[in-house]
Structure 1
């Protein structure tokens, strides 16, 4: 959501298992299968041939973004006892769309997820920005247009805008760029391990940062004078299935029956994504904390994988 120099991220979603290489792979498989049908030779085990096929497939994909046909010419791709073998074919955009239809369908999953998480209806979206080279694929653009009811905005370079955005954000954080504010969100939930190995969320994913939230916990055993705070990141129900960000201990709790001590756990995330976690015994005032810097956070690929796995195993 944008307005008056403020860009607020309402939700994030993605699929790290899907990208331009997957579209290339479909063309590669098509070339290999076609050549095998014509010549009776399987090129899939020939590393040099496969490298040439990969380069030809990527070029064909790019060509088909601007043309309806792409010529694929691979002279001397291999040889047998009868002599050298060549491969030549014309790949149509229609055939490419047929080969990659399921990949295009898969791109819509994260779109639906992000809309759902944001609480917005697609009719409330005013502009669709598509980034990355594969966003130029006509079938991808058409799928977005059919789903959203509007085509992608053409006023950006999809190959450059991510880098430009990162540079602008660096300028904002460094104080060199004025008048812009990015309100980002936490990509995954943050919480702690509680009794039974359960992961209890304190800050839900897609919470706008900076953010600060507290929750009261207690002891699990009578006379317990120390607790271990196991800080977690992820969407799974059990701690063992999520990522450990850090562990610290709070000692000096006054002995009491279980459930009586009040221990306040606070998560404080700053604008740089640095997480400060503290635990305080409200009875004694004893406190301990841990700071988790951004370099211990999960990569984009890990984030997408964690969300997908959480959805897959939600029924467990």
Structure 2
């Protein structure tokens, strides 16, 4: 890999290197850059189109297809074609179980708070790996179109993304071979694309209405001295243009009395794609006619608007809630920016303009506006816009060691200083009363490759079953580079804190080397991280199931116990294999087998409690 020049003062790269802006979307993704004329421009590589569908298809021979061609397999091979992966970033199964029926592929339910995994063929993937595949495709398209290496990027995320989701996005970028200079809120990027906030003298309060394929959110931003402050955000992560498509599909199913035929996943996908075509056509015409497998698919604009009215009204309710949360009135909003392909629907524009009582900004292509804004942000980071204030940023990520010697980032590299962030952790062993907190600085996935800054013990945690204590670990980094780390157990109030100087003793060259090492070793690091996480999860599963059998031996049949012990043996054997997919497969099999009788025991316990008996 070529040596890169990094400006340590700003955390940015020197001018001569192209930095791209990436909109990693739920339905489509795209990449933009600043062209030689100094204008943001989206990339259309070899005429494939600007939008890259956020779809990954796994072929039976182990091959991988991403983007336009992968979308075709949504109908022919839905189980091995992954879409809407952004919805899963940084989430556990419990977060998304209500909506799991929306996915045609298998999402692993391990009945825990751990992050979701997706099964395709015999392999198991995390949303980070899948997002990394989409980002790699965008990187390659950009390199092909621009005829130069692309190693640096600004990536956008929804304003409501939490630390875990933002870190997952950073990790995905690293896995794609990108140094992610900044994670930028999508509404901030959209505002920049319209030139709002570029003038440091400007003071405004604006609303950004973002209706994409799978998600909706509205953000109220205050812009002052070139700084964007999110006053409030509201929305629905499972409401978007996909729902408009589904409303049309349901209408056609009803009109054609399809009954059980509608359960066929291939037919369903074909109807969904035809509905998407109808929705787009109805932005400019009053009627749509088409066929899917000799099934007539007709709909008028009036009927379409009738079907989606309640959904659009839901978004307006979110706008009301966002204003209320920000303690503002409609008259306080000076600009309204429209983002997301679904805002092309005339009814949406009409209702948003009517609610905010002003014309909306929709002149820039709503699919492209976020990526264009991200490119402008990359230009600011490159130091090419002298009139924009660049705040001090952290040169390297700060985090703590978690199980298996992994680095869990709490304040990421390039975060604005001063910064404050935190995460919640718990114990992994029953009755654990102490927790060692080790603080590290660096970009590698394993703490052994990073720089240790401090270590202290949180003592006196009340003895509870594993997973019950809730320990908040908070990082506060002040403008002088002093980091304060605080750990507090929420149930008991037990607290401990330490102060460290994270950048002490590091030269610019050492920081640069740490950054380059992290990108060059990203693939190996992620592979090791995935294996360690799988082993940790497997060991936890063995511990939990053995404990369960011991506690409930009288209520589990001999055959069930024997079969469970056999599956535990398989998992223990897999743990020593070094094969991540085999470990996940063994966890999945053990989990699936034990769930029915675990549920049976729970139901018995609940019914006993209903009769006034105590639960053991």
Q: TM-score, normalised by structure 2?
A: 0.30
Structure 1 residues 63-115: Cα deviation after superposition (integer angstroms, max 9, x where no partner): 111222222323xx1xxxxxxxx222431111111211221111123322332
Structure 2 counterpart of 1:60: 278
Shift of 1:249: 6.1
30, 48, 62: which is aligned to 2:251?
30
Distance in structure 2 (CA, Å) of the matches to 1:47 and 1:123: 47
Q: 1:252 to 1:107 in 2, by over 3 A?
A: closer
Maintained 8 Å contact 2:335/2:360: yes
Structure 2 counterpart of 1:132: 340
Describe the SS at the equivalent of 2:291. Answer: strand
Distance in structure 2 (CA, Å) of the matches to 1:109 and 1:149: 15
Shift of 1:155: 2.2
Structure 1 counterpart of 2:485: 278
Q: 1:179 to 1:288 in 2, by over 3 A?
A: closer
Matches within 5 A, 1:1-316: 2=197, 4-5=199-200, 6-13=226-233, 14-36=235-257, 41-74=259-292, 77=293, 86-180=294-388, 210-212=417-419, 250=456, 267-268=476-477, 277-279=484-486, 287=499
Structure 1 residues 112-168: Cα deviation after superposition (integer angstroms, max 9, x where no partner): 233234333211222211111001111211221221111322321101111111122
Distance in structure 2 (CA, Å) of the matches to 1:269 and 1:70: 59
Distance in structure 1 (CA, Å) of the matches to 2:343 and 2:300: 19
Unpaired stretches in structure 2, ≥5 consecutive residues:
1-195, 201-225, 392-414, 422-433, 439-453, 460-473, 488-496, 504-616
Shift of 1:172: 1.8
Q: 1:151 to 1:68 in 2, by over 3 A?
A: farther
Q: 1:171 to 1:113 in 2, by over 3 A?
A: farther
Q: 1:288 to 1:149 in 2, by over 3 A?
A: same
Maintained 8 Å contact 1:108/1:144: yes
Structure 1 residues 241-281: Cα deviation after superposition (integer angstroms, max 9, x where no partner): xxxxxxx964599xxxxxxxxxxx762389xxxx965249x
Q: TM-score, normalised by structure 1?
A: 0.55
Maintained 8 Å contact 2:476/2:484: yes
Maintained 8 Å contact 2:289/2:298: yes
Distance in structure 2 (CA, Å) of the matches to 1:21 and 1:122: 29
Shift of 1:56: 0.8
Q: 1:228 to 1:115 in 2, by over 3 A?
A: farther
Maintained 8 Å contact 1:128/1:153: yes
Distance in structure 2 (CA, Å) of the matches to 1:286 and 1:134: 49
Maintained 8 Å contact 1:24/1:61: yes
Describe the SS at the equivalent of 1:150. Answer: coil
Shift of 1:227: 8.3
Higher relative contact order (CA 8 A, sep 6+): 1
Q: 1:156 to 1:12 in 2, by over 3 A?
A: farther
Describe the SS at the equivalent of 1:153. Answer: coil
Distance in structure 1 (CA, Å) of the matches to 2:331 and 2:390: 24
Q: 1:41 to 1:162 in 2, by over 3 A?
A: same
Instruction: Choose between structure 1 and 2: higher helix proportion.
Output: 2
Q: 1:181 to 1:56 in 2, by over 3 A?
A: farther
Maintained 8 Å contact 1:213/1:268: yes
Q: 1:88 to 1:249 in 2, by over 3 A?
A: same
What is the CA RMSD across the aligned residues, in angstroms? 4.0
Shift of 1:212: 4.8
Distance in structure 2 (CA, Å) of the matches to 1:154 and 1:178: 28
Maintained 8 Å contact 1:141/1:152: yes
Maintained 8 Å contact 1:8/1:182: no
- Say how many residue pairs are matched: 210
